[in-house]
Every structure is written in C-alpha cells, then in structure tokens.
Amino acid sequence: MRTPTLTRFAWLSVAAAVATIALKTVAYVLTGSVGLLSDAVESIVNLVGAVMALSMLTVASRPADEDHTYGHSKAEYFSSGVEGTLILVAALSIAVAAGRRLLAPQPLEQIGVGVAVSALASLVNLAVAVVLLRAGRQHHSITLEANAQHLFTDVWTSAGVIVGVVAVAVTGWLPLDPIVALFVAANILWTGSRIVRKSILGLMDTALPAEELAAVTAALDSHLNDGIEFHALRTRQSGARRFVSFHVLVPGAWTVHRGHELLEDIEARIRAAVPNVTVFTHLESLDDPASWDDQLLDRSEPGSASPREGGGRR
C-alpha cells in the first residue's frame, strides 16, 4: 500500500530536479556566475538523490519474505546515506570552483535575467520541498524527509547566491560572487553531514526517540500498581517501521489466558501511541528465578541476577 503513495512523491522530486537543473543552467550560461553554477551543480545532486529515493522507496515497500522476515524498510537508509554523500561531494566541488574564481574574478553578464531564472527555480524547489516534508512526516519516511531537507537547503542556497549576484551588480566588487559560493558550499556540507549521520544511526539500530520511548513505558507503567513488572525493554527503528520488545513478569499463579490478555492490552496501548510499530512480548513468572536471567541481549548464566539486581520495574 505504501508503494504508489511514496513513489508518487519521489517522481515529483525527480521532475522538480530536472526542471531546476535546466533553469539554473540557463541562469549560469547567461551570467557566468560561479554562484549560480554552484546552484546548478547541487540540483544535479538533487536529481541523483531523487532517483535513488525512488528506487529505495520501491524496495522498502516490498512485503516481508523468507530472506527478509522483518521487511525491507531499512532500504530507505541507503537512499538517504547516498544522497548525503553526494551532497558532501557537491559541496567540495563548489568550494574548489569558488576558490579558483576568487583567485581570478570574472565579470558577470545579464544579471537581471539570470537572477529571475534562478528565482523561478527556487520557487519550484520550495513548493516541492514543502510537499515532500509533509509526506515524509505523515508516512514516517526518512527518505522523503531527507529529500525535502535537501531541497530546502537548495532554496536557501539559491537565495544566498541571488543576493551575492545582486551585490556584485550594485557594488561592482567581483570577489563577492565566489565568496557567497564558499558560504553556499559550507551550508551544503553541514546539511550533507547531518543526513549521513542520521542514516548511519538508522543502520546501527538506534533506539526510538525519547517521546516514543516514553509512550512505550507509559503503557507498561499503567500496570505496575497491579503487581506486574517488566524488563529487557529494547527498541529500534528501521525506516518507517518501529520494533519494540520486552518481558512482562506476572504472578506465577496466573493462568496463561490471563497473562495473554494482559499482553494484548499492553501491545494495543503501544500500537495506539506509536506509529508503525511491531511489538514482541515475552511472558514470565515473578516466582521463577530463571525469569531474571535473560535481561541482557546475551542471556546470563542461571542465578547470576536477582530480582533486585536485574532492573525489574515495580
């Protein structure tokens, strides 16, 4: 069900990238501004990122199979990681071109037309970025959010470049153009590093953010007054999918049916509070010492942990 929805937004990003590349290239050819050239280069990166996003969103939407029993949602991190890396490469390329132009400034031509064309391209990017960001947050897609943030950076970049070109026209000081391009490169570098970092954290199975973890613990805490305890709480995020697992300890005299009803209630509370979450639970007896031996990722030796040492919640 996710494929037609999210890939539609990816196609929108591809179309916007193609349009802005054409517009910004025309602006550069008309003016000869290295700042506008930097803008056009970043739009090429936008296109590569959009194509990558389209591919990975298609993969991520595939249902779980025998070889990928947890689904394919982690594919989104490859897309955002590649896009972030491309952004870093583009930033370095822009910095090199700006450095050369700074050493050998050149006059700009047809500034008015070039600025108008670049402004039109920025408006296209702004509109698409707003749409992608809303869709990314609605569908919890790191790929669309990364694409949107990149486009927003492109908008601010274009604004800075336009200011630089206009400043050159007003003051006649040619070094302003490459100086602005260097600031553009620094801004792109910062954005790229943030996207790469977020992708790495996702691939490393980072825990859920604090507000979602609080919602999980709230669902568990609601039963603590009933003499119930829990431990071994683990969370991770894989693209749009969240995974939560924990052990629930109940009095040994409880029936399996009663324990199962409790787990169903807790799981339902978590699913209602956290989007796209898969919950794994394990029922244990408060009266069995072995219940306290498997709180770590690797099960400890029998008897090595006591109820007071094991971190059970009361």
**pLDDT tens for residues 15-35?**
988 888 888 788 778 777 766
| pLDDT of residue 282 exceeding 90 | yes
Q: Tell me which of 177, 203, 229 is where a domain ends.
A: 203
CATH number at residue 54: 1.20.1510.10
Query: Do 195 and 52 fall into the same domain?
Result: yes
| pLDDT of residue 85 exceeding 90 | no
Average pLDDT, stretch 231-257? Answer: 90
pLDDT for the residue numbered 39: 67
Q: Tell me which of 181, 203, 225 is where a domain ends.
A: 203
Query: Do 131 and 214 fall into the same domain?
Result: no
Q: Does 306 map to a domain?
A: no
Query: Do 119 and 252 fall into the same domain?
Result: no
Query: Do 31 and 141 fall into the same domain?
Result: yes
Q: Does 191 map to a domain?
A: yes
Give the pTM.
0.66
CATH number at residue 245: 3.30.70.1350
Average pLDDT, stretch 266-295? Answer: 89
Least confident span in 79-88, 214-223, 256-265: 79-88
| Total structural domains within the chain | 2
Query: Do 27 and 144 fall into the same domain?
Result: yes
pLDDT for the residue numbered 158: 74
Q: Tell me which of 145, 178, 203 is where a domain ends.
A: 203
Query: Do 131 and 225 fall into the same domain?
Result: no
What value does the mean pLDDT of the chain take?
Answer: 80
Q: Which of 248, 238, 245, 259 is nearest to 213 (CA)?
A: 245
pLDDT for the residue numbered 87: 75
Q: Does 168 map to a domain?
A: yes
Judge whether 122 and 159 are in contact, CB under 8 Å. yes
Average pLDDT, stretch 225-244? Answer: 87
pLDDT for the residue numbered 159: 76
Q: Which of 232, 240, 250, 235 is nearest to 293 (CA)?
A: 232
Q: Does 128 map to a domain?
A: yes
Average pLDDT, stretch 215-233? Answer: 86
Average pLDDT, stretch 73-89? Answer: 80
Query: Do 172 and 227 fall into the same domain?
Result: no
Average pLDDT, stretch 295-307? Answer: 59
| pLDDT of residue 146 exceeding 50 | yes
pLDDT tens across 34-45, in order?
A: 666 766 776 777
Domain range for 220 is 210-292
Q: Does 241 map to a domain?
A: yes
Average pLDDT, stretch 279-296? Answer: 87
Q: Does 308 map to a domain?
A: no
Query: Do 192 and 263 fall into the same domain?
Result: no
Q: Does 80 map to a domain?
A: yes
pLDDT tens across 192-204, in order?
A: 888 888 888 888 8
